[in-house]
Amino acid sequence: MCFRARLLPSGAGSLRRGDSHAAGARHAQEPQAARGAAAVPRGQRQALLPARHRAPGPAIQAQARQLEAAPVGEIYLSRGEIARRVAELGVEIAAAYRGTNPMLVAPLKASAVFLADLSRALPIPHELDFLELAAYTGGHGTTARVLKDLDASVTGRHVLIVEDVVDTGLTLNFLSRTLSPRQVASLAAVTLLDRPYRRLVDDVPLRFVGFTVPDELFAGYGLGLDERWRALPDLHFVVPEELPDPLTADGYK
């Protein structure tokens, strides 16, 4: 994509804050690679197999990798830009929660990478917990339901919800309505990406925002497309014309 939207920094004077992608049914974890063989000590290598001539193998098909990454376009936020902003958020959150031992709660899966980096950037004692949501279509339209609840009690705790993206606000509003009745001491949220102009509900406890972003689809830094490209260290634009149909994407909730 030749066009690169300009970053809109959050803070005073920025657009009003909001929520992220709608909670969709989550996918099973991708299978891990098989465990590699243990390394052979240097002194034993000569005795294992005699050297022999091997015929050249088939040429590496570089084009296949290019096709696999076709929907992923140019970088919107580099890993360095993200790291600097996450460090700043750590300072802001530490100042707000000093002496309270807050609990950081993240919905799986897209928020996991942001949560891990934010936790390392937070110089105060804190705890982590996770929950998992799925979309549910009923008589009143599509909403969310809890697939996996928190392991720990949040009664009397200062809870900070950690989101990857907030736009319509529906997911964050659901999380707020789910956790508030549990007698929390306080409830707020932090998001890496915000699209306040897409807000459908205003009742969201969003307090900290990393970046206000354009209405584009992204991949990388935890955001996936059919469970692919989550591990990319940078945040990339996605080229809509290259997307297979149908495709489940993180990014609108």
Which DSSP string corresponds to 37-82? PPPPPGGGHHHH---------PPP-HHHHHHHTTTEEEEEE-HHHH
Nearest Cα neighbor of 103 from 142, 147, 57, 160 is: 160
Report which residue type is found at 110: A
pLDDT score, position 138: 57
Q: Which one of the listed residues 19, 117, 167, 194 is annotated catalytic?
A: 167
* Number of structural domains the chain divides into: 1
Contacts of 36 (CB under 8 A, 6+ apart): none
Active site residue 202: no
Task: Indicate the average pLDDT of the chain.
Answer: 77
Answer whether residue 167 shows pLDDT above 50.
yes
Ranges of H-type helices in the chain: 45-48, 62-68, 79-97, 112-121, 170-179
Tell me whether residue 44 is in a domain: no
Q: What is the pLDDT of residues 105-151, one digit of tens each?
A: 999 999 999 999 999 999 999 999 999 998 766 555 567 889 999 99
Q: What is the pLDDT of residues 56-96, one digit of tens each?
A: 544 444 443 433 556 899 999 999 999 999 999 999 999 99
Tell me whether residue 49 is in a domain: no
pLDDT score, position 151: 97
Tell me whether residue 47 is in a domain: no
Nearest Cα neighbor of 68 from 246, 216, 242 is: 242
Tell me whether residue 34 is in a domain: no
Whole-model pTM? 0.70
Answer whether residue 177 shows pLDDT above 90.
yes
Peptide bond into 246 cis (omega under 30): yes
Query: If you average pLDDT over residues 150-159, what whole number do you get?
Result: 98
The CATH number that applies at residue 73 is 3.40.50.2020
Tell me whether residue 6 is in a domain: no
Query: If you average pLDDT over residues 144-161, what whole number do you get?
Result: 96
Domain that residue 78 falls in:
15-25+68-242
Tell me whether residue 252 is in a domain: no
pLDDT score, position 54: 42
Tell me whether residue 142 is in a domain: yes
